[in-house]
């Protein structure tokens, strides 16, 4: 007869095993194909190959530019070569803002010496008058402070210097809390008689590279020019202002808005075998700012979407529902592609989910799911992503390009990467292929492939 302690050990072992089985059985059907997908993504390195090609042979591609037109052709050709289904363009009119041939700024020291400031005109701004603007700088940290100063802003270049909050772990949150200065700085400056807006760059990196981005005007307020200044430039200006003597700055740039141009969203898909009319959209935006190469923002999201389809196709995985890659045009300064995609009538079609990758090329950590029913349904599959450290599923998600689909009740989701480095690159000359790690990019593509495939098989 066996001893009691042995039976107890045996019993506890059985209970433990049962618990483990219960915990993992939900993910089982997808575990081995998830491993295969990751193996193929890392081994082939195709996402990086595509991104290098886009970055070096097309380069940055602001909406309306010849490079953006080239990018449209590039994406269409790429998806055709890979043998995707239904590869086509969906035309859309986009804004055409141009930076112009020069932009410069400097501090005019009382001695007459000039001290250069690295600036970048903000997207959508008017140019400065011929000969530029020379005026005293008024530094503020918020619109509230600016409006309290009121009259003092008259004739000044308003310098918005509130930094992204370094103490926040989520850099997107820090960005969100500072970016009003860039978007609305020109309008707020003009309301109190300011002649221009100069904004501390939205970045987490301390260097001398200015970061551009969208700004807007209000038709009821006088238009004044707006530019971003690098962090080193901004800190120098703050130090000069703090010294107490009036600081005079000259700024000059020739930006302008030209008539709209026809461009397109680029689309390709893997047709569903059982419910082809049910569609899972995955995508990023093909346009970028006219700085760097648009590698992390958002060449990465585009190639990850293409690569996700390629991975499934290469592994012979046939989704029951259609998975569609969409390269949206004009996310940065108009969102016209996202709006056009949502507004287009698609008879007989049902959008199941839309998943965006637009937070950079970094190590994937999981997915944001902006719909509680979809979140409940997808959460049991999180363990499939554990082996690549991407099993963090959170309630709340989406992306700019897919946001217009929310009105139709489509569950919006996004691939969440690690976020500490994204704003080092964002909208600046830093955003080149050198800022992309090929393994992290590939893992993101694989995660997107597995996630979209699970939704295609299971439905929502």
Interaction site with Zn ion (CB under 5 A): 297-298, 358
Which CA distances in Å does 154 have to 57, 191, 196, 260, 382? 46, 9, 10, 34, 56
State the catalytic residues: 331
Instruction: Tell me how far, at minimum, the Cβ of 57 lies from Zn ion, in Å.
Output: 20
Distance CA 226, CA 145 (A): 19
Distance CA 308, CA 270 (A): 10
- Choose between 284 and 370: whose C-beta lies nearer to Zn ion: 284
Distance CA 246, CA 109 (A): 9
Instruction: Tell me how far, at minimum, the Cβ of 170 lies from Zn ion, in Å.
Output: 17
Distance CA 277, CA 456 (A): 11
Nearest to 108 by CA among 313, 1, 247, 15: 247
Contact between 425 and 359 (Cβ < 8 Å):
no
Instruction: Tell me how far, at minimum, the Cβ of 424 lies from Zn ion, in Å.
Output: 15
Q: Which residues contact 100 (CB under 8 A, 6 or more apart)?
A: 121, 127, 253, 254, 255, 256
Instruction: Tell me how far, at minimum, the Cβ of 67 lies from Zn ion, in Å.
Output: 16
The backbone torsions φ and ψ at residue 345, rounded to the nearest 5 degrees and listed phi first, read -70, 130
Contact between 229 and 122 (Cβ < 8 Å):
no
Q: Which residues of 187-199 are buried (b: 16+ CB within 10 A; e: fewer)?
A: bbbbbbbbbbbbb
- Choose between 312 and 326: whose C-beta lies nearer to Zn ion: 326
Instruction: Tell me how far, at minimum, the Cβ of 297 lies from Zn ion, in Å.
Output: 4
What's the DSSP call for residue 428? B
Instruction: Tell me how far, at minimum, the Cβ of 400 lies from Zn ion, in Å.
Output: 7
Distance CA 287, CA 431 (A): 13
Instruction: Tell me how far, at minimum, the Cβ of 292 lies from Zn ion, in Å.
Output: 12
- Choose between 276 and 398: whose C-beta lies nearer to Zn ion: 398
- Choose between 156 and 211: whose C-beta lies nearer to Zn ion: 211
- Choose between 272 and 301: whose C-beta lies nearer to Zn ion: 301
Burial of 315 (0-12, 13-18, 19+ CB in 10 A): middle
Distance CA 96, CA 90 (A): 18
Instruction: Tell me how far, at minimum, the Cβ of 427 lies from Zn ion, in Å.
Output: 9
Distance CA 300, CA 305 (A): 9
- Strand pairing class (256-270; 321-328): antiparallel
- Choose between 103 and 297: whose C-beta lies nearer to Zn ion: 297
The backbone torsions φ and ψ at residue 134, rounded to the nearest 5 degrees and listed phi first, read -125, 125
Both tokens of residue 170? 């989520």
């Amino acid at each position: 007869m066996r001893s009691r302690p042995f039976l107890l050990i045996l019993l506890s072992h059985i209970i433990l095993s049962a618990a483990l089985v219960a915990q993992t059985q939900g993910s089982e059907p997808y575990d081995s194909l998830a491993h295969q997908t990751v193996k193929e993504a890392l081994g082939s390195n195709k996402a990086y190959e595509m991104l290098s090609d886009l970055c070096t042979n097309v380069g940055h591609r602001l909406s309306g530019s010849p490079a953006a037109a080239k990018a449209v052709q590039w994406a269409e050709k790429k998806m055709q070569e890979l043998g995707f289904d239904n590869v086509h363009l969906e035309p859309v009119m986009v804004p055409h803002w141009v930076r112009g041939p020069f932009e410069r700024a400097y501090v005019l020291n009382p001695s007459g010496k000039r001290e250069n400031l690295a600036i970048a005109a903000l997207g959508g701004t008017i140019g400065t008058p011929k000969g530029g603007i020379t005026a005293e700088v008024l530094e503020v940290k918020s619109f509230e402070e600016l409006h309290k100063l009121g009259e003092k802003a008259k004739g000044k270049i308003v310098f918005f210097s509130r930094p992204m909050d370094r103490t926040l772990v989520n850099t997107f949150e820090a960005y969100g809390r500072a970016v009003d200065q860039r978007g609305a700085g020109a309008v707020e400056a003009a309301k109190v008689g300011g002649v221009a807006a100069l904004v501390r760059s939205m970045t987490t990196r301390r260097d001398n590279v200015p970061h551009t981005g969208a700004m807007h005007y209000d038709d009821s307020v006088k238009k004044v020019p707006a530019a971003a200044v690098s962090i080193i430039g901004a800190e120098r200006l703050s130090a000069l202002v703090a010294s107490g003597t009036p600081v005079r700055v000259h700024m000059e740039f020739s930006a302008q808005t030209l008539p709209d141009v026809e461009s397109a969203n680029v689309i390709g898909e893997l047709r569903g075998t059982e419910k082809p009319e049910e569609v899972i959209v995955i995508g990023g935006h093909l346009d970028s700012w006219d700085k760097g190469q648009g590698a992390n923002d958002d060449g990465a999201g585009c190639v990850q979407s293409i690569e996700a389809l390629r991975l499934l196709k290469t592994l012979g995985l046939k989704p029951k529902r259609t998975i569609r890659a969409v390269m949206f045009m004009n996310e940065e300064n108009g969102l016209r592609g996202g709006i056009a995609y949502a507004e287009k009538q698609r008879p007989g079609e049902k959008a199941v989910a839309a998943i965006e990758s637009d937070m950079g090329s970094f190590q994937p950590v999981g997915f944001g799911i902006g719909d509680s029913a979809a979140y409940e349904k997808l959460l049991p599959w999180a363990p499939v992503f554990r082996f690549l450290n991407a099993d963090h599923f959170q309630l709340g998600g989406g992306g700019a390009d897919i946001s217009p689909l929310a009105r139709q009740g489509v569950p919006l989701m996004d691939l969440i990467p690690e976020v500490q480095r994204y704003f080092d690159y964002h909208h600046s000359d830093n955003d080149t292929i050198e800022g992309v790690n090929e393994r992290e990019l590939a893992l993101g593509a694989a995660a997107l492939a597995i996630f979209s495939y699970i939704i295609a098989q299971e439905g929502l």
